[in-house]
Structure 1
């Protein structure tokens, strides 16, 4: 399956919204695997993984999550908290008639999958996450903590403290922002003052090398020009709310898990991952943040091999 064979979408009613869902490998019904994108990504971010997983015998379900693509974009910020995002995935399983599935997440998608495994553990058979490890719940609200350590311009903080400001800049510079963001092998530089996402949106010259073709990038640009960025940014605006919502959850991920890091990713690796995810295997690849885009063949090999090992148990 080439990128041009990416499945055609259907809009499915779930959990009070509609999700735009791409489905492949229907003939493998009974072995569901759900791929969850991050920000600012789309279901299309998994285009390299879909054919490999179908070939491995999986029914592959890839939603544009709420706020993205042609999925619903509720107006209330709180409609993008972890209970809603996890609830969408549970309802998606219900729609397809599955009690549980393997869930794969990258970036914010990984955050949602970790949260889903905490809130609805019986609906998750295995966890595969890329880039973002499990984050231990601390005693201080995360945005307050980030602001104290990283300052008010740190993009998580800025999204929360100055709602609408970054959204407008990104909406006005969609093509440039995505072109400048989806890069690899950027030169190491000294951290500069300012809000990094806004700086990316207005930078005239991109750094490093593109991670995708112009035609693939055009899919993202077209989608975000239509949807805007606010829906996805609202995920960030629920970080403290999610922290409160998960206060009473059992913090241990008990499912078998695979964590894939990019050695050049700016997101740090977890030093105590196995404490909270005791049945975890860890793989590191020589790439940056956009792991499944940068090294698709390696990612496919690692994921399929790990799934086969666990299927054989």
Structure 2
């Protein structure tokens, strides 16, 4: 079976770094924010052992892949185009996609727009969301004292300055804060104070990060955190944050596809402590998802699991993905 290997694939006018292992039907694993192909380290080996060709790219703007400077080079059409180009570079006619967080958003659209290339899909954390009635940023919560984190990300340079000051603190805080353990601790503090914390809200003064590093979650080693911190110390946060700066532009670009359903077989997995699942409207989106994803096979909720699904519950996620892949044959 060999070990995971890295190489560069030319796709959609840029270079994408991929980590791959195994032989057999192609499975492409798309990471989210703030991660990299490394977030799939457990699934790559499991998929290869199960007889699949697992390929995890560093998505555009991340890791060792190219990082275009212009904000408008990170639209959903660029990101879907990168996946189509990746298949072409691998000389594969079709693939099954697996996505998490931003990667899940890309996978939903890739499967919706190109079912001829992406024959099935598994998404973690982010449910399928129909097009909003207005520009998404206009609907995001904000108060005099705080704003939704995606609004905080909009002004170029602001979040970069905070996050790049100490990448290890940034990654440690995000990976702990979004984990099942971190969310449980935040909920306990909110209950003790009588003031539940707003989901994903950033104070208008002081930024997002805590003043000191939180503990490591049980599923993340110090060495693994160092890998993440090293990736972002080298590549920075501009490319990843540019995904968020295209949210309204994506809303405009996808108007022509409003009402088009996701027609390929699909599986959805999330943790019941995931902050995305706690967003306003998310429970209804999950409950009604089959109306827009008619071949949705199952919705699996993992008790006590937070946002970092495939890292917090690697064995469970790998088993579910492999069982789904076998069910397609």
Relative to the length of structure 1, the TM-score reads 0.91
Aligned to 2:217: 209
The answer to whether the Cα contact below 8 Å between 1:6 and 1:47 also exists between their aligned partners in 2 is no
The 5-angstrom pairing of residues 205-284 of structure 1 reads: 205-206=213-214, 209-249=217-257, 250-268=259-277, 269=283, 270-280=286-296, 281-284=298-301
Structure 2 stretches lacking a partner, 5+ long: 191-195, 278-282
DSSP 3-state at the match of 1:45:
helix
- Residues 52-131 of structure 1: matches in 2 within 5 Å? 52-131=46-125
Tell me the SS of whatever aligns to 1:308: helix
- Per the alignment, residue 302 of structure 1 pairs with 320
Q: What's the CA shift for 1:180?
A: 1.4
Q: How many residues align?
A: 303
SS of the equivalent of 2:276 reads coil
Corresponding residue for 2:280?
Answer: none
Tell me the distance in 1 between the aligned counterparts of 2:40 and 2:301.
19
Tell me how far 1:213 sits from its aligned partner: 0.7
Match of 1:73, SS state, is: coil
CA gap of 1:207–1:216, structure 2 versus 1, over 3 A, is closer
Residues 108-187 of structure 1 aligned to structure 2 (within 5 Å) = 108-147=102-141, 153-160=147-154, 162-183=155-176, 184=179, 185-186=181-182, 187=185
Partner secondary structure for residue 51 of structure 2: coil
Matches of 2:272 and 2:202, distance apart in 1: 25
In 2, the alpha carbon distance for the partners of 1:150 and 1:297 equals 43
RMSD: 2.1
Provide structure 1 residue ranges, at least 5 long, that are not aligned to the other structure.
none
Question: What TM-score does the superposition give when structure 2 sets the normalisation length?
Answer: 0.87
